[in-house]
Amino acid sequence: MQSIRLDLPEAIEEALVAHCKRSGDSIDHVIVRALADFLDLEHHSIYQVSTSGALVEGVYQGCVRVREILKHGDFGLGTFHGLDGEGILLDGACYHALSDGSVHPADPDHLTPFWVATHFKADVEATFDQIEDWKDLLGRLDTLRPSDNIFAAIRIDGIFTRVHYRVACKAKSGTDLVSATQHQAEYCFEQIEGTLVGFFTPEYAHAINVPGYHLHFISRDRAHGGHVLDLAATSVKVAIDHENQLKLVLPESPSFLNADLSEDPREALEKAESKKRQ
């Protein structure tokens, strides 16, 4: 991202610092969001690379660089070339969670075969107390969405009494997603502070994205992260951004152009994305 030096009037600086202390937002994030509003950048719009159906068929060849993703959003998730780990985009910073349990800033030149991003701006905010498990969380999120027919970006911050997540291991192109995730690495932490980043996708869009909820976790210290399988929490802050526009970027790689994408991917996605949830 471009670095810019700003000389702020004292009153604005004091108000900015006070806001960040109250909200937990970073100064960089607040300034970027304010500039996006002033410049009338598009909100409520999802930028997506490739489709979940292509992933199911083993199309893991990267086609868009991380630096390009960052032009279209400050929030999102995905994976990297060869299904090499999990990606988390939060507050304009992109992270690469690897199967060995480590998390690193993503190389701007890394390629992704699948990514979903947006400029996050909350339409609804709430606090959830005493979340028992994944199913309990999803039931409460349902009450905050106005319809099952529009997309939503979801951010959840808090201290989790338990979070269980997986990290995809690098796979050979052409290996179907169910087979590839048989060898995923799994991690479980207790009393860990962090953020859930993800999306709700309507059922009718099942060939485009994972239908229902798809969430990735990253710890506050940016040392742990992956695709959420289960969780519990005493109290979390929830923010939802309703999305009514979708820009879909399709690969032109031989693996995508020659893939048979006519099959319904829902059963395979269910097995690959949530088969080990308790």
- pLDDT interval class at 270 (50, 70, 90): confident
- What does the pLDDT look like over 24-81, one tens digit per residue? 778 887 887 787 667 655 568 999 999 999 999 999 999 999 999 998 999 999 999 9
Pairing of the two strands 45-49 and 245-249: parallel
User: What pLDDT shows up at residue 40?
Assistant: 56
pTM: 0.83
Q: How many CB atoms lie within 10 A of CB 238?
A: 20
User: What pLDDT shows up at residue 180?
Assistant: 83
Q: Is the pLDDT of residue 278 over 50?
A: no
DSSP secondary structure letters along the chain: ---------HHHHHHHHHHHHHH---HHHHHHHHHHHHTT---SEEEEES-HHHHHTT-----EEHHHHTTS-SEEEEE-GGG-SEEEEETTEEEEE-TTS-EEEPPTT-EESEEEEE----SEEEEEEEE-SHHHHHHHHHTT-S-TTSEEEEEEEEEEEEEEEEEPPP--TT--HHHHGGG-EEEEESSEEEEEEEEEE-GGGTTTS-SEEEEEEEETTSS-EEEEEEEEEEEEEEEEEEE-EEEEE---SHHHHT----S--HHHHHHHHHTT--
- What does the pLDDT look like over 233-245, one tens digit per residue? 999 999 999 999 9
Query: How large is the average pLDDT for residues 138-148?
Result: 96
User: What pLDDT shows up at residue 184?
Assistant: 87
Q: For residue 46, which of 169, 162, 210 has the smallest C-alpha distance?
A: 210
- What does the pLDDT look like over 7-38, one tens digit per residue? 889 999 999 899 888 877 788 878 877 876 67
**CATH 3.30.1330.80 is held by the domain 45-274:** yes
CA–CA dist 54, 174 (Å, integer) = 10
Report the mean per-residue pLDDT for the chain.
91
Q: Which two tokens stand for residue 117?
A: 């991003």
| CATH 3.30.1330.80 segments of the chain | 45-274
Q: Which two tokens stand for residue 206?
A: 């099942």
pLDDT > 70 in the chain, percent: 95
pLDDT > 90 in the chain, percent: 72
